[in-house]
Amino acid sequence: MKVDPTLPDRLARTGGFNASACINCGSCTALCPLGMGPFPRQLFRYVLLGAREEVVRHTEEIYSCLLCKMCEDNCPAGVHIAENVRTLRTFLGREELGLATSEV
């Protein structure tokens, strides 16, 4: 995959996406009650690297999230995981699924 800094820049600027503090410990993935593969650590990493196709490939996981915040409560780096998932839903809805109307 080729890095593309414009994707994280855009999501940060318009949707407040911020996962830069992530230290890749994987607590979030281990704690997720749905146990969904790359979710959420690896997914956020795809965003930071700008791997758009990887983000799109995991649309189902992004929409399946319960927003229970088990991960966020336990994140040692204080990443606002649930907010980031909402931002990704808006982004996917508008640009991939033709759902949302607001600017992302």
Partner 1 sequence: MTEEQAPDPPPTPERRRVGVFICQCGGNISDYVDTEKVRETLERDPEVAHAEVQMFACSDAGQGAIVKAIREKKLDGLVVASCSPKLHTLTFRGAARRAGLNPYEYTQANVREQDSWAHTHDREGATTKAVAIARAALAHTARSRPLEPIRTETAPAALVVGAGVAGLRAAVGLSDLGVSVHVVERAEQAGGQLARWDRIFPNDRSGKEIVRGLLEEVAKRENIVLFTGAELVSKEGHLGDFTVHVRTRTGEVIPLKVGAIVVATGYEPYRPAKGELGYGLEGVITLPEYEELLGDGTGPLEYHGRPVQTVTYVYCVGSRDASGGEGSHTYCSRYCCSATSFAAIRTGGRGTPVHQYHLFRDVRTYGKYESLYERALASGSVFLRYRDDAPPKVALEGGRLVVRLSDQLSGGAEVEIPTDLVVLVVGMVPRENAALTGVLKLPIGREGFFNEIHQKLRPVETVVDGVFLAGTAQGPKNVAESVASALSSVSKTAGILLKGYVDLDPLVAKVDASACTWCGACAEACPYGAIEEVVEGEKHIARVVPVSCKGEGACVPVCTAQAIEVEGYTHDQVLAMIDALAAEE
44 binds partner 1 (CB under 8 A): no
25 lies in the binding site for partner 1 (CB under 8 A) = no
53 binds partner 1, rule: CB under 8 A: no
- Which among 28-36, 38-46, 58-66, 82-90 is the span making contact with partner 1, rule CB under 8 A? 38-46
Cα distance between residue 102 and residue 76, in whole Å: 32
Listed residue (44, 36, 37, 40) closest to 71, CA to CA: 40
* Nearest to partner 1 of 72, 93 (CB atom): 72
- From 42, 69, 83, 86, residue interacting with partner 1 (rule: CB under 8 A): 42
According to the binding rule CB under 8 A, does residue 38 interact with partner 1? yes
Task: Report CA torsion sign: 64, 92, 56, 50.
Answer: negative
Burial of 83 (0-12, 13-18, 19+ CB in 10 A): middle
Pick the stretch among 28-36, 45-53, 60-68, 94-102 that binds partner 1 (CB under 8 A).
45-53
Q: Does 36 bind partner 1 (CB under 8 A)?
A: no
CB 44 within 8 A of CB 18: no
